[in-house]
């Protein structure tokens, strides 16, 4: 039976015990585990050397990696410096949708195969997007505040004060990956009409009861717009002043994808003018949201601190997908989420 020296560089969400439990289920192999526990999310991630969204732990990884063939991490900073100190590393699994904390060209140059765990948080993120959408449509934070202030505001039943339903609404989804597809199914179940923008989809073959349109048309027709696109150089700043002006007055905007997709200053302007009736955010241009941000006093906003993927099932699923990737690597097959 083969023994594989493996580094588990988990954290306080995707924990090492979850990773070890998933890997230990693989048949025909035993693992010699080394463990490093990274501080996220108790300590925020950030940029480390040339990689993004990582825990500042290069020295810890460098000390643990000699002799290691396989490494599994979520927030480990696999920079060029770290990879230089890991001559025996051959396979690296990043337990995220994309390995932003890995210098992939440097890994490839050194013969290290890199994979990710796509879809690990799709259920959680989709459910959270729907929750934010409903919270914005039904003005739930404002209603809760009235009770916290010991008010019983039955006047909020007035026509001009009450919220809106998803049934019969048009919901536009910008991005139709694993998360967007799940949101679409829920929207259809609610009785909404679903429009989709995604360059990877052929407009002539609209999936699952949805309609594929161009971005401007989606914005003009949608009562609710929800962002689910990846942040790339092409999508950065995708929604700004011009795009917000295309939306029907009083529409709702939801962003659970990445802060860089959206011009937040323009969004606050649209909320204050009434062009947007409400908005909901789990991601922001700067995280944490800085003190004094206009977002903190903007009207009709629902916000959560980048926790859309935070469920126990997401962490467990990350371990399971990582184990599948390791099994594929050991069998000489391309693993799921292969990056390089």
Q: With helix as H, strand as E and coil as C, how does 312-326 read?
A: HHHHHHHHHHHHHHH
229 within 8 A of 238, measured Cβ to Cβ? yes
* Mean pLDDT of all residues belonging to the chain: 96
Around Cβ 112, how many Cβ atoms within 10 Å? 20
Domain segments of the chain: what residues?
2-120+311-330, 122-303
The predicted pLDDT at position 205 comes to: 73
> Of 36-40, 157-161, 228-232, which one has max mean pLDDT?
36-40
Lowest mean pLDDT segment, chosen from 65-79, 82-96, 196-210: 196-210
The predicted pLDDT at position 163 comes to: 94
CATH assignment of 122-303, among 3.40.50.300, 3.40.225.10, 3.40.50.720, 3.40.50.1400: 3.40.50.720
Per-residue pLDDT tens over the stretch 179-192: 999 999 999 999 99
Q: Do domains 2-120+311-330 and 122-303 have the same CATH topology?
A: yes
201 within 8 A of 176, measured Cβ to Cβ? yes
Task: Assign domain 2-120+311-330 to its CATH superfamily.
Answer: NAD(P)-binding Rossmann-like Domain (3.40.50.720)
Average of per-residue pLDDT across 298-319: 97
Backbone φ and ψ for 304, nearest 5 degrees, come out as -135, 155
**CA-to-CA distance for 236 and 297, rounded, in angstroms?**
25
pTM metric for this prediction: 0.91
The predicted pLDDT at position 202 comes to: 80
The predicted pLDDT at position 203 comes to: 76
pLDDT at 72 over 90: yes
The predicted pLDDT at position 4 comes to: 97
**Nearest alpha-carbon partner for 185 in 173, 202, 197:** 173
**Nearest alpha-carbon partner for 304 in 131, 147, 52:** 131
Q: Which positions are catalytic?
A: 258, 287, 306
* Residues 6+ positions from 160 with CB-CB distance below 8 Å: none
């Amino acid at each position: 039976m083969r023994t594989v020296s493996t580094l588990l560089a988990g954290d306080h969400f995707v924990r090492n015990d979850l990773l070890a439990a998933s890997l230990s289920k693989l048949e025909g192999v035993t693992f010699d585990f080394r463990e490093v526990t990274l501080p996220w999310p108790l300590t925020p991630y950030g940029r480390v050397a040339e990689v993004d969204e990582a825990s500042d732990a290069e020295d810890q990884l460098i000390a643990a990696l000699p002799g290691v063939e396989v490494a599994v991490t979520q927030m480990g900073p696999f920079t060029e410096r770290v990879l230089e100190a890991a001559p025996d590393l051959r396979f690296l699994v990043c337990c995220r949708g994309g390995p932003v904390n890995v210098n992939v060209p440097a890994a490839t140059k050194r013969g290290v195969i890199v994979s990710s765990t796509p879809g690990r948080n799709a259920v959680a993120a989709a459910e959270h997007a729907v929750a934010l959408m409903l919270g914005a449509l039904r003005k739930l934070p404002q209603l809760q505040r009235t009770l916290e202030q010991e008010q019983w505001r039955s006047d909020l039943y007035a026509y001009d004060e009450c919220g809106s339903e998803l049934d019969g609404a048009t919901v536009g989804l910008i991005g139709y990956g694993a998360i967007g597809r799940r949101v679409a199914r829920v929207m259809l179940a609610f009785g909404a009409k679903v429009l989709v923008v995604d360059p990877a989809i052929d407009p002539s073959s609209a999936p699952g009861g949805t309609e594929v349109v161009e971005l401007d048309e989606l914005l003009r027709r949608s009562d609710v717009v929800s962002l689910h696109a990846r942040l790339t150089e092409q999508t950065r700043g995708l929604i700004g002043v011009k795009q917000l002006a295309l939306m029907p007055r009083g529409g709702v905007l939801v962003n659970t994808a990445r802060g860089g997709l959206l011009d937040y200053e323009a969004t606050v302007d649209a909320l204050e003018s009434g062009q947007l009736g409400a908005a909901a955010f789990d991601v922001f241009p700067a995280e944490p949201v800085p003190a004094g941000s206009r977002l903190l006093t903007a009207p009709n906003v629902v916000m959560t601190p980048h926790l859309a993927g935070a469920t126990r099932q997401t962490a467990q699923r990350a371990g399971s997908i990582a184990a599948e990737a390791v099994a594929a690597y050991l069998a000489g097959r391309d693993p799921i989420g292969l990056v390089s």
